[in-house]
A and B are shown apart, each in its own frame.
Chain A
């Protein structure tokens, strides 16, 4: 079980990355290289969603890759959101306090709500109109 990546561009400002397999010292290079293609295409203030549902395993090398993405996105006033980390990944994240807890979502619905909330903040719309 090695690593694979699916990139889904849902909108110009939002890209979802589906991670599969293990992100470790053997595979993080592959992931980093892929990111070099993906990230520059995102607009200023864009959002990257890392879908971790299928990521079975992560090691410190993988953490560093994710940290790199987050730094890149932060430099561009963007956001890096994590979706549905599996137990091992969650455990690793917990141990090293990898990301703020409010940027980790257990499922797509929570993520959507968060994204809507962010949208409203930007556009100034009332939340009720979208409910």
Chain B
């Protein structure tokens, strides 16, 4: 938690960095200084050792002088030796005993006096001649005789005085030959005392080594008489350095730590004086100084860290506030106080920027909220529009319930909520079924409105239309009216004779339909007029097609063919035909759904760019079940053929149990129409044909009449002036047509390049069927 703050981390790092720098600098300094300290210590210790060595030298020199003087004196007056020795001993406190030992020979004094200082300070005298062991045979005596200039003997343990002693011997000469010797004893305790009296630094100790490497004296009495340690003696023997470092000191007093030993040879002897200084003592002062300096430094650094912490925290306090405010902003709260910007530094600028950002953000959010509400409203409106548009379309599935002659499946999927594609279908009358698929230019709401206009107009105009081309023309005129936005709709309209499967189609700039059957899949090419809404004068040539059993006609919009994949490739007509060709069965539902699925797979990832509509019309040709085909004739337009045909019709109707009244009506209407065709419709030709199809429906007789002659619309003939007596006028025209219109239950007329087409329907209520529904 503590380390999360920038201030604490900064001060911690400052502290750590300073400590590191201090330690390294201190270490380097200590290393450099310690060398100098050591040099200085060497100098001081060597001087001390020299001084101590000199003092010992002086003391020993006095002993030697005394002994040499005595040798001369006693040599001149051997008899007074006793007194002389006594006097000398009394004067020189360093001596512990003096002896004048003579070679036992004639001419030499008979006594060899030995004066020794007792522990209580009194002098004792003894004649060495009377000792049990003859001294003249002892080593020390023989060695002393040869030492005319005087020399220090090896130390020994005095039995009589119970202490370690060393003696200095000087031969007494008479006439150039030694007659005896003066022996001056010095106790090693004296030497030790001398060492102790030296002014030594604390922790240092001194010693004296003899020529054989044995400690003659040592500040530690336990070591006296022992040999010096090997590396010390080796250092003494090999190089004449005045000082040597011992990693481990022999003296337990040094506690096994390294010591420096400084040597000084003692003149007049073969001894060496040594001063041992523990290394730790040498560095103790400087080390202590450094430790103190380090401690001080650490304290200073700690203070620095605390100051850094305080300053940083103070500087960063607004930043902390800003941080918590930013967290508030992240939670969506924008109303809060900001700390005042005290200085125009980075923090101050940040605070100002933050304030501005907060204000801008609040404005932005408010605008976004407004926009979102607007969007929501628009979306709900679009949703409703979508529902309304869907309601404009008939159901997706239509099965001709009456006779199951055909089945229709339609799928429409707008690219947006609403779209410009449309399809529609409805029965125009008992027999004729109108189907259309269209595509309004553009997409979205304008297209949807235009689509609604188109589909509503089409429904309204269709009952008045005699043919698809007629319907398209009427629609076109209506849509051209006030079409300032120059929108247009491509439309394919077909009218299907549900009895015969005859389909008349007309196209206003729409994609050609596809016909699928067992023989394969092919486009139905048809001449197309201009799209609706552009040219009031446009004409729409019709195309007639006779559907056969299990053929499916597929109408679609360019949403199918112009669907693009992620590589901007178009789905195209080839893929469309290939997909339909793969469809296992020719059912309308499967064809439509399969095609849509294929397009979806193709355009996967690219999104739907345009509205898509597919309408499949499957012709079952279940004619035998419902409408019984009674006659299907093609005759020459001649009177004989006409009346022959009338008889055949009559006979057929009679065979089907049609009532005489209806039969007569049928006969009259057919006679009037066909005679009319023969007499007036030949249009100059002689080989005109009349086609007649007659079927019997559930409740009606249905008749198609086609004639390839002069166009003649019986519906357009004016009603004759009927006065109540035909004899009133000379010649009354239109009687026959008047009868036709009166007799036929329904009559429709169309004309195309094939001629006149009349569709007639005669209600036939007498047909004895129990499930007859009216």
Show the binding face of A for B, using Cβ within 8 Å: 24-26, 56-57, 59-61, 63-64, 66-67, 70-71, 74, 80, 87-88, 91-92, 95-100
Question: Nearest chain-B residue to A56 (Cβ)?
Answer: B664
For A70, list chain B residues within 8 Å (CB).
725-727
Q: How far is the CB of A61 from chain B (nearest CB, A)?
A: 7
Q: How far is the CB of B613 from chain A (nearest CB, A)?
A: 48
**Would you call B724 and A63 a contact (CB within 8 A)?**
no
**Would you call A57 and B664 a contact (CB within 8 A)?**
yes
**Would you call A60 and B727 a contact (CB within 8 A)?**
no
**Would you call B639 and A88 a contact (CB within 8 A)?**
no
For B725, list chain A residues within 8 Å (CB).
70, 97-100
Query: B257 an interface residue at 8 Å Cβ cutoff?
Result: no
Tell me whether A74 and B668 are in contact in the complex, defined as CB-CB below 8 angstroms, given that A88-B661, A92-B739 are known contacts.
no
> Cα distance A48–B731 when bound, in Å?
21
**Would you call B739 and A95 a contact (CB within 8 A)?**
yes
Tell me whether A99 and B736 are in contact in the complex, defined as CB-CB below 8 angstroms, given that A25-B675, A59-B672, A61-B675 are known contacts.
no
Q: 28 interchain pairs (CB within 8 A)?
A: A25-B643, A25-B675, A26-B639, A57-B664, A59-B672, A59-B675, A59-B739, A60-B736, A61-B675, A64-B731, A64-B732, A64-B735, A66-B726, A67-B732, A70-B725, A74-B727, A88-B661, A88-B668, A91-B661, A91-B664, A92-B739, A95-B738, A95-B743, A97-B722, A97-B725, A99-B727, A100-B724, A100-B725
For B407, list chain A residues within 8 Å (CB).
none
**Would you call B664 and A88 a contact (CB within 8 A)?**
yes
**Would you call B727 and A67 a contact (CB within 8 A)?**
yes
Chain B contacts with A in 115-155, Cβ cutoff 8 A: none
The 8 A-B residue pairs with the shortest CB-CB distance, nearest first, are: A60-B736, A70-B727, A67-B726, A88-B664, A60-B735, A97-B722, A71-B727, A25-B675
Q: How far is the CB of B736 from chain A (nearest CB, A)?
A: 4
> Cα distance A98–B735 when bound, in Å?
10
For A95, list chain B residues within 8 Å (CB).
738-739, 742-743
**Would you call A96 and B639 a contact (CB within 8 A)?**
no
> Cα distance A26–B96 when bound, in Å?
198
For B672, list chain A residues within 8 Å (CB).
59-60
Main DSSP-derived SS at the B contact region = helix
> Cα distance A99–B675 when bound, in Å?
24
**Would you call A97 and B639 a contact (CB within 8 A)?**
no
Query: B691 an interface residue at 8 Å Cβ cutoff?
Result: no
For B751, list chain A residues within 8 Å (CB).
none
Question: Nearest chain-A residue to B667 (Cβ)?
Answer: A57
Q: Which of B639, B723, B725, B732 has the most C-beta atoms of chain A within 10 angstroms of its own C-beta?
A: B725
Query: B671 an interface residue at 8 Å Cβ cutoff?
Result: yes
Instruction: Identify which of B667, B726, B730 contacts A63 (C-beta below 8 A).
Output: B726
Q: How far is the CB of A70 from chain B (nearest CB, A)?
A: 4
Show the binding face of B for A, using Cβ within 8 Å: 639, 643, 660-661, 664, 667-668, 671-672, 675, 720, 722-727, 730-732, 735-736, 738-739, 742-743
**Would you call B671 and A24 a contact (CB within 8 A)?**
yes
> Cα distance A24–B661 when bound, in Å?
17
For A100, list chain B residues within 8 Å (CB).
724-725
> Cα distance A74–B738 when bound, in Å?
25
For A26, list chain B residues within 8 Å (CB).
639, 643
For A74, list chain B residues within 8 Å (CB).
727
For A80, list chain B residues within 8 Å (CB).
727
> Cα distance A110–B667 when bound, in Å?
31
Question: Nearest chain-A residue to B742 (Cβ)?
Answer: A95
**Would you call B727 and A92 a contact (CB within 8 A)?**
no
Instruction: Identify which of B661, B726, B732 contacts A99 (C-beta below 8 A).
Output: B726
For B735, list chain A residues within 8 Å (CB).
60, 63-64, 96
Q: Which of B723, B724, B725, B726 has the most C-beta atoms of chain A within 10 angstroms of its own C-beta?
A: B726
> Cα distance A44–B70 when bound, in Å?
231
> Cα distance A64–B723 when bound, in Å?
15
**Would you call B667 and A60 a contact (CB within 8 A)?**
no
Q: How far is the CB of B712 from chain A (nearest CB, A)?
A: 16
Q: Which of B724, B727, B739 has the most C-beta atoms of chain A within 10 angstroms of its own C-beta?
A: B727
> Cα distance A25–B667 when bound, in Å?
12
**Would you call A96 and B661 a contact (CB within 8 A)?**
no
**Would you call B739 and A97 a contact (CB within 8 A)?**
no
Question: Nearest chain-A residue to B670 (Cβ)?
Answer: A59
> Cα distance A67–B732 when bound, in Å?
10
> Cα distance A95–B738 when bound, in Å?
8
Q: A59-B668, A59-B675 are in contact. List 15 more A-B contacts (CB 8 A).
A: A24-B643, A59-B672, A60-B739, A70-B725, A87-B661, A88-B661, A88-B664, A91-B664, A92-B668, A96-B722, A96-B738, A97-B725, A97-B726, A99-B725, A99-B727
**Would you call B736 and A59 a contact (CB within 8 A)?**
yes
Q: How far is the CB of A72 from chain B (nearest CB, A)?
A: 9
For A96, list chain B residues within 8 Å (CB).
720, 722, 726, 735, 738-739
Q: Which of A25, A95, A97, A98 has the most C-beta atoms of chain B within 10 angstroms of its own C-beta?
A: A25
For A61, list chain B residues within 8 Å (CB).
675, 736
Tell me whether A97 and B643 are in contact in the complex, defined as CB-CB below 8 angstroms, given that A25-B675, A60-B735 are known contacts.
no
For A63, list chain B residues within 8 Å (CB).
726, 735
> Cα distance A67–B720 when bound, in Å?
15
Q: How far is the CB of B312 from chain A (nearest CB, A)?
A: 115
